[in-house]
Amino acid sequence: MANPKYKYVSIGGGYRKKVSVEAFNVRKAKNLKQLQRAVESINPEIVGEAWRDTFEGMEGEITAIVVNRMYEEGLRRAVSGGGTEPIEPDYAHVTRYVYKRKKGQRTDHVTLRDTGRFHESLRLVYTADGFYVRSDGSVPYSRKLEDKYTRRIYGLTSAEMAEFTRQRGSLKEIALRALAKAGQWT
């Protein structure tokens, strides 16, 4: 027996609405990977373009949150509780009082900024559940920084993600708006 092309979904008040299986799958997607697959089943070409436009547009905004927290506050995402903690270990004495001062840079906390190349290398990496921030590897010492300071330097805190979601909507809502704008979803 062939897969049905339509499903009936409850729309409230005891009424049901006939929708395509593809539309049903898009609305019921629990994460970005499921949403991407559901949209690809409708129109494979739109995923690449809409996804890229939507999330690349947010990439600068999201990485700026992480960079600002690193530089201005010297903080990374905490292990638990969704908050922040200082980036540790601290700079060596010679780094702080010779190199950083000579360059006119902050010396009150670890900023992970020397030339700015590391901060500029931050990108979004997409997973089935959303995304995370990571260096794109174009900076040869990014791996050493990750090893020394842990990958939590990249993490968004619960509060930062909540604020981002409050301003822009959930990632699923953002993706659906992008598809609607592209004329592929209503």
State how far Cα 176 lies from the chain centre. Answer: 16
Q: Which of 124, 134, 141, 130 is nearest to 173 (CA)?
A: 130
Q: Which residue has the higher pLDDT, 132 or 172?
A: 132
Residue scoring higher pLDDT (112 or 54): 112
Confidence of residue 120 (pLDDT cuts 50, 70, 90): very high
pLDDT of amino acid 82: 67
The domain limits of the chain are: 47-181
What backbone torsions phi and psi does residue 55 show, to the nearest 5 degrees? -80, -30
Q: Which residues contact 148 (CB under 8 A, 6 or more apart)?
A: 89
Helix (H, G, I), strand (E, B) or coil at 77: strand
Q: How confident is the model at residue 140 (pLDDT cuts 50, 70, 90)?
A: very high
